[in-house]
Structure 1
Amino acid sequence: MPSDRLFKTMNAVHRVALKLTGNRVGARLSGMQALELTTIGRKSGKPRSVMLTAPVQEGDAYVLVASRGGDDNHPAWFLNLRDNPAVEVQVVGRPKQQMRARIATPEERVRLWPIAVKQFKSYGDYQKRTNREIPLVIVEP
């Protein structure tokens, strides 16, 4: 499984690519909208930001996949928003927006998971690697 160091490096490279290219490189990855999610650290109480992709957008809401590459542990950003659902989202090229995060209901997950996997096939592979059900998170204004 990817290490925390690798995830942090990938996030840093993504931010640099966006900055150096005026958002031309990295605004969309594998056809998915890129965004920055800021949560409040559940232990530190400090803002924590991560670059993510949203394989599904419905109206003003974005669906995020808490896959962590198929790791058996949830990503830190998921644990943070689970404890404090008030988040800030900045879609690449747009202003930051205060949003609320929630874990998709079982019925929503049944509907949204195939759409996410169709958008990015690796999500299905990630689910096969782990015993945990990979959560879908919906962020909405």
Structure 2
Amino acid sequence: MPDDDMTSEREFNERNIEEFRRNGGKVGGQFEGFPLLLLTSSGAKSGAERVNLVAYFDIDDKIYVVGSAAGRDESPAWVFNLRAHSHVQVEIGAEPKRPVVARELTREDRDRIYRIIVERAPGFGEYETRTDRVIPVFELVADN
């Protein structure tokens, strides 16, 4: 991705993160009405704190996030961060930041959960057709 694309994407993310925090977890525009959380992770290589606005799914009282990258051939950077450092923090709605552990689902569990995700948000089915990679799904479990 060219540098100016990276800059504009970073600025877009920062604006949405600010809006999320200002509005108790709500973001308008293309994200209107979609359940979102802020995921704070450590950079896989740098170890630097990274904050990402991520869609989530509450399925059977468990929280899942999907590394779809809208069907691009590479997973979003936060996927690599979670694989390197599974202890992360989330903000959901107006709740304060809380620690969780990101557990990547096995292929069998991922396929079962992904079917439910596609039922709820059909765009994720389209993302899957755009790439040859298996789109990863992580469960976020309370870090006690």
Question: If the length of structure 2 is used for normalisation, what is the TM-score?
Answer: 0.83
Contact 1:66 1:74 (C-alpha < 8 Å) held by counterparts: yes
Unaligned regions of 5+ residues in structure 1, if any? none
How big is the shift at 1:8? 2.5
CA contact (8 A) 2:43 2:49 kept: yes
Are 2:97 and 1:96 equivalent residues in the alignment?
yes
Q: 1:12 aligns with which of 14, 39, 42?
A: 14
User: Against the structure 1 CA distance between its residues 47 and 124, is the aligned structure 2 distance closer, same or farther, given a 3 Å change threshold?
Assistant: same
TM-score between both structures, scaled by the size of structure 1: 0.85
CA–CA separation in structure 2 for the residues paired with 1:5 and 1:122: 26
Return the match for 2:37 from 35, 38, 54. Answer: 35
User: SS of the residue aligned with 1:98?
Assistant: strand
Distance 2:9 2:39 in 1: 14
Q: Does structure 1 conserve the Cα–Cα contact (< 8 Å) formed by 2:37 and 2:92?
A: yes
Work out the percentage of aligned pairs sharing the same amino acid.
29
Structure 2: stretches of 5+ with no match in the other structure: none
CA pair 105-44 structure 1, distance change in 2 beyond 3 A: same
Aligned to 1:125: 126
Question: Matched residue pairs, number?
Answer: 137
Aligned Cα root-mean-square deviation (Å)? 2.2
